[in-house]
Chain A
Amino acid sequence: MNDFISGFWANYVAVAAVVSILACGLLLWITARGRIAPTDDNTTGHVWDEDLREANNPLPMWWVGLFVITIIFAFVYLAFFPGLGSFNGKLGWSAVSQYEAEVAQADKDLVPVYAAFQTMPVERIAGDPKAMAIGERLFMNNCSQCHGSDARGSKGFPNLTDVDWLHGGTPDKIIETVTKGRIGEMPPMAAAVGTPDDVKNVAQYVLSLSGRSTDSVRAGLGKSKFTACAACHGIGGVGNQSIGAPRLNDEIWLHGFGENAIVAMINGGKHNVMPGQEGRLTEAQIKVVASYVWGLSNKAVALPVVLP
């Protein structure tokens, strides 16, 4: 695993490495051949700065032995591990392969932990404190970046603790959502609705569905134009979970509240993405984290764990 883009630099590195090691050996060989004439005062005869004399304290032979061992080690290392340019070593080791091996090992170690949850229904997992602790950690690591640490979402990211579901809140639906991800697609509808004035009227009508309209005349005018929207959002804005169209007749505003926000939505549309976790989480992990999410709004109906 190396990233050389040309053979020249690979060879350059390889040659530099080998030459450096050989130079170390050469240095040792030359100094070991050096001989020092015996002096009375046990110095080498070198004098610096008028009166600094180098004492003759020969290094012990075991030190030379260690030096030789390091040279041998360097060659052995280069034979087995990456380092010689584009040669990856006999073992085929790389940081990436080690990482992948460790991940695989960790996944294998987790199998028994999750084994119990494979057959358990979601309603029961949600009542198991240990599973919920795992689920919470999974959620914190993989979901909270968008949905928030408390799973209440924010603008553009759905709140998972309420009972309003875009794509359905049954355990199976949640598992499907987490596994495959979702795309919340609303095309720009301004052309279908009509003039900018019509768009404002429709916005007032949408507000009136939850009793929040500030202009009942405009809301009345917008009602007829709402047919373009009703294709997805349903008559009266009841929403449609099969295509993920939000309800418009409740107090929950995913993309902002008020006439301006609604007008902006009609004009610009929306392309909202929830990435699928398939491949990032195992099936068992998805089941546990889905149970956690399901439990957030169904704590009261979660089944207690029956202890054997």
Chain B
Amino acid sequence: MTVPAPARKIIPIVPVAEEAGGLYEATKKIYPRSVRGKFARWRWAMVFVTQLFFYATPWLQWGDRQTLLFDLVARRFYVFGLVLYPQDLIYLSGLLVLSALSLFLFTAVAGRLWCGYACPQTVYTEMFMWIEQRIEGSRIARMRLDGESFSAEKLVKKWFKHFIWLGIAMWTGFTFVGYFTPIRELGMEFLQTRMGSWEVFWVFFYGLATYGNAGFMREQVCKYMCPYARFQSAMFDKDTLIVSYDLPRGEPRGVHARAQDARTQGLGDCIDCGLCVQVCPTGIDIREGLQYECIGCGLCVDACNTVMDRMAQPHGLIRYATQNGLAGGWSAAQVLRRVFRPRVLIYGAVLLALCVGLLASLVVRVPLKVDVVRDRTSLARIADGGKLENVYRLQIMNATERSQRYRIDASGLRGLAVATPSQAVDVGPAESRWVAVRLQVPAEDAPPGSHTVFFNVRSADGVSQVSEKAVFLIPR
């Protein structure tokens, strides 16, 4: 008996009329309506927290230097009381892992929280929209203004808006560069019009990027460019809190008077006012379910709750809810209980362990680094007094911000001693120095072969001590 081969589905290519949609289309500009409410307040709080930190930090001084300075040219990162070197790259890796894990954790618990509240793209768009609204007016007024033909009023408003936008954008670019070049000097250079060409370039680059992204691209960045937006959906599960429309409660939607009970008309609670669509910064209709464009900002929740207040209905027709919760009709307490599920607990535990580890290693970090490089040309030589000698170069990096004097000695072989005339090395603040050091052992009782020895470098104040491994060769 033969199994009939499955019929191959032929996709017919039908030439269609020109008016049918193409694969590309002009972008439709979104005019989000402004909204008040709990989540809008949270958004603004995040704007203030993040931007206060971003704009203010470079101006703070720590002693006689900037508090936060990433000096790429000198390869030194100044972070509050710390000076970090290229050798401390592990901390940067730790920070990146920390950030990634935090993203996993927040996303697993409550969807795209980062996107909705803290991402620079969101934050600057929010700021720029607020300015737009101050100058051009509400959503309706903005749409009307854009639809109008050219007029003096339109010219003034548009120019004024772009002028303010550009001002903020350039200030943002200037601040950003100020994290890499001391911002006070940068400011002086700017006032005296003698900024370096690269500094000018980067200020303009970041300034114009801010202007373009927050003023024009907005939700397009999240929809078409951002990689995080794409893979955050992989961190969702059925217990993730996402902005959801309570379908059974809302449908069938329809206009009904406030005092009436909608049920008697066979209608749901949704009055189809369209506010949730109008406030959405990505221009989607949340009532169609979760879509990839949704950044989880909760503005539609605020909008719908104000309407429900007016309708004298309970809040939460649109709310942060989980798929399981909606399907099972769970109470808020039941939903919250599922927040502490294995996935979240594991993320949380790893995150906590990493935080503790990172902080602990920063606390016990020795502000001194030693690299040992054997001289490759002379394996071993006979020195005066019949001693065997090996030569090394030590790079001593003083990671403190004061001048230090270091003492060098060695251990690991019987009779091993440092033969350099002066065993104390002075290194300036946050500087590194190469010194040639000779190690000697008495020739008579030296076992031939290669031996592991240790250079012990101690600061004179006794605060930091480092042991670094090296190899001592004794010829046969």
Contact = CB atoms under 8 A, between A and B. Distances in A.
B392 interface: yes
A217 interface: no
B25 A36 contact: no
Interface string B198-230: 000000000000000000000010001000000
A47 interface: yes
Contacts of A153: 378
A152 interface: yes
A45 B13 CA distance: 10
Given A35-B18, A149-B391, A150-B436, A62 B23 contact: no
A308 interface: no
Interface of A: 31-38, 45-47, 56, 58-64, 136-137, 140, 144-146, 148-155, 157, 257
A28 to B, nearest CB: 9
B196 interface: no
Contact of B22 (A58, A137, A148, A157): A58
Most buried by A among B18, B22, B376, B420: B22
A56 B434 CA distance: 64
Interface of B: 9, 11, 14-18, 20-27, 220, 224, 375-379, 381-382, 391-393, 420, 434, 436-438
Given A32-B22, A35-B20, A36-B22, A62 B391 contact: no
Most buried by B among A33, A46, A149, A152: A149
B37 to A, nearest CB: 30
Given A152-B391, A157-B377, A63 B24 contact: yes
B23 A148 contact: no
B198 to A, nearest CB: 15
Contact of B220 (A33, A37, A38, A62): A62
B25 A61 contact: yes
Contacts of B21: 35-36, 38, 56, 58
Q: Which 7 A-B pairs have the closest CB atoms?
A: A154-B378, A149-B436, A150-B436, A58-B25, A60-B27, A37-B16, A149-B393
A198 B392 CA distance: 42
B427 to A, nearest CB: 12
Contacts of B11: 45-47
A148 B20 contact: no
B24 A144 contact: no
Contacts of A157: 377-378
B377 A146 contact: yes
A148 B438 CA distance: 10
Given A149-B391, A149-B436, A155 B378 contact: yes
Contacts, number: 94
Nearest to A30: B23
Contact of A145 (B26, B377, B379, B434): B377
A232 B395 CA distance: 43
Given A35-B18, A152-B438, A58 B23 contact: yes
Question: Chain A at the B interface: mostly helix, strand, loop or mixed?
Answer: mixed
A63 B25 CA distance: 10
A136 B434 CA distance: 9
Given A140-B434, A149-B375, A154-B381, A64 B14 contact: no
Given A136-B434, A148-B377, A150-B438, 20 more contacts: A34-B23, A35-B18, A35-B20, A35-B22, A46-B11, A47-B9, A58-B23, A58-B24, A59-B23, A59-B24, A64-B24, A137-B434, A140-B393, A148-B391, A149-B391, A150-B391, A150-B420, A152-B381, A152-B438, A154-B378
A156 to B, nearest CB: 10
A75 to B, nearest CB: 22
A64 B27 CA distance: 11
B20 A36 contact: yes
Nearest to A64: B24
Contacts of A47: 9, 11
Contacts of B393: 140, 144, 149
A148 B24 contact: no
28 contacts: A31-B23, A32-B23, A33-B22, A34-B22, A35-B17, A35-B20, A36-B21, A36-B22, A37-B14, A38-B21, A45-B11, A46-B11, A58-B22, A59-B224, A62-B27, A62-B220, A63-B224, A140-B434, A148-B375, A148-B377, A148-B378, A148-B436, A150-B437, A150-B438, A152-B381, A152-B391, A152-B438, A157-B377
Most buried by A among B24, B375, B382, B437: B24
Contacts of A31: 23-24
Contacts of B382: 257
Contact of B25 (A60, A137, A149, A150): A60
Nearest to A59: B24
Contacts of A61: 24-27
B375 A60 contact: no
Contacts of A60: 24-27, 220, 224
A137 B382 CA distance: 26
A37 B20 contact: yes
Most buried by B among A46, A47, A150, A153: A150
Most buried by B among A56, A152, A157: A152
A62 B381 CA distance: 71
A33 B23 CA distance: 8
Given A59-B24, A61-B24, A149-B436, A155 B18 contact: no
Contacts of B25: 58-61
B382 to A, nearest CB: 8
A144 B373 CA distance: 12
Most buried by A among B15, B18, B224: B224
Nearest to A155: B381
Contacts of A33: 22
A144 B378 CA distance: 10
Contacts of A34: 22-23
A63 B20 CA distance: 20
Given A61-B26, A150-B436, A38 B20 contact: yes
Contacts of B22: 32-36, 58
A37 B11 CA distance: 13
Contacts of A38: 20-21
Contacts of B391: 148-150, 152
A22 B23 CA distance: 20
A47 B11 CA distance: 8
A56 to B, nearest CB: 7
A140 B436 CA distance: 9
A30 B420 CA distance: 75
A251 to B, nearest CB: 9
B219 to A, nearest CB: 11
